[in-house]
Amino acid sequence: MTPSEIQSIKQRFGIIGNAPSLNYAIQVAAQVAPTDMTVLITGESGSGKESFSKIIHALSPRKHGQFIAINCGAIPEGTIDSELFGHEKGSFTGAQEARKGYFEVTNGGTIFLDEIGEMPLGTQARLLRVLENGEFIRVGSSKVQKTDVRVVAATNVNLLDAVREGRFREDLYYRLNTVPITVPPLRERDDDIYLLFRKFATDFADRYRVKPITLTPDAVQELQRFRFPGNIRQLKNVAEQMSVLETDREVDARRLRQYLPADQSSRLPMLVHAAGSATDGAGNAYSERDLLYKVLFDMRRDMTDLKKLVLDMAAGQRPQETQELLRQNSHLFNNLSVAPYDNNQAARPLRQPTPDGPPNEYILNPRDLEVEDAAEYEDEAHRVEDITHETEEETLSLEAKEKEMIIKALKKHHNKRKYAAHDLGISERTLYRKLKQYDLEQA
């Protein structure tokens, strides 16, 4: 498609801007229009998705048929089936007469389903049948009816995420996404922002017969730096608000900032997730509980690595391997330095604190762990305290203490387990399990 043809479409449908991404979206819409293929338009709220649905309808063979735009998020879940597919008289409370649905009314035309991601799952199944076979059934009827409708859908949410979360049917997504069109947000159309502002200011001035608002060069730069989360709709509101309130028809950057929310001025990309969540480097959402678990698991892994390091040192691991292990786990040591490996340096035990360093700083040379024979190995190994028994002793002491407390509670309440469990602060079922575990069932 030539630039002049794209420009002609812009003038016909009132589209302003020269951004390459905008021109490409218009080109795709014009190329798919002569077909009956289903189109999915994606873009942020307020970016102008409905204009592309009108382009597709007006340039298609269905241009003489009816065009209806429906906001799926604005129709209550209980009535959306009736609105789209119609209903029979008496099919539900208030159905005093039969009614045709939008798919029946627009037969031979185009139906634009905006905010398709808000459609209930039950209605999604009905829509899939229409897209596959052109068949639908009115609410309260058993008669299958036929329709010939071109469907153009739009959404401002990521439908793949909705599919993964079970809020949108996967088969319907791929049936709708035959030809995707992405409408760029306003913040990606820097040079178009001021053109649109002038258009809105001029339209307002013509409507109310006032002098249009103009911006100084610094105000134009300030306007282009703003990220406009509300896109074209927000820009239009700003232009009309300034046209009403400003007595001086030339506005500088200082005055312009009063109309731009400060918390929306950043042009940095932003990830939006559920409230109370954060993201990792890959963009995956973490809740506060997930983050806490992650920290605890990292601490546990670090302690396991530390114990393994000490035991490997006691077992006489080769110096190069030990130094690499120390380097990988250096974050576990605040005051432990690793000395460079020197083949000519004699083996020696861990040295005392260095004169120039803090009292608790020790230097570890991996060669200190090399031994020449079994006797020297035994001499070195006994220097490292064996901590493998601590966990077992601690566990045994806890079990003994628990067993002792259970016996005391049973004696106090004359073997009445219900009251003993209440005194111990555990359930009666847990007490029965503990009695079996410690072989105290005859106590």
Neighbouring residues of 135: CB distance < 8 A, sequence distance ≥ 6: 129, 144, 145, 146, 147
The pLDDT assigned to 276 comes to: 42
Q: How does pLDDT run across 290-324, given as a tens digit for each residue?
A: 666 666 767 777 777 777 766 766 666 555 555 66
Between CA 206 and CA 250 the distance in angstroms is: 17
Q: How many C-beta atoms lie closer than 10 Å to residue 52's C-beta?
A: 26
- Token digits for 417? 């387990």
Planar angle of CA 35, 39, 41, nearest 5 degrees: 140
Chain centroid, CA 385 distance in Å: 48
Residues of the chain with pLDDT under 70: 263-295, 297, 309-310, 312-397, 441-443
Between CA 100 and CA 83 the distance in angstroms is: 8
* CATH value of 390-437 in 1.10.3470, 1.10.3720, 1.20.120, 1.10.10: 1.10.10
Coil vs helix vs strand at 180: strand
The pLDDT assigned to 417 comes to: 85
Is-contact 171 131, C-beta < 8 A? Answer: no
Domain boundaries along the sequence of the chain:
3-182, 186-264, 291-381, 390-437
The pLDDT assigned to 1 comes to: 81
Planar angle of CA 9, 15, 19, nearest 5 degrees: 95
Look at residues 181, 160, 187 and name the one whose alpha carbon lies nearest to residue 172: 160
The architecture in CATH of the region 3-182 reads 3-Layer(aba) Sandwich (3.40)
Q: How does pLDDT run across 396-419, given as a tens digit for each residue?
A: 567 778 888 888 888 888 888 888
Written as one letter, the residue type at 16 is I
* CATH value of 186-264 in 3.30.450.20, 3.40.50.150, 1.10.8.60, 3.40.50.1370: 1.10.8.60
Is-contact 258 248, C-beta < 8 A? Answer: no
The pLDDT assigned to 327 comes to: 62
- Could you tell me where the DSSP H helices lie in 86-225? 102-105, 121-133, 159-164, 170-176, 190-208, 217-225
The pLDDT assigned to 388 comes to: 45
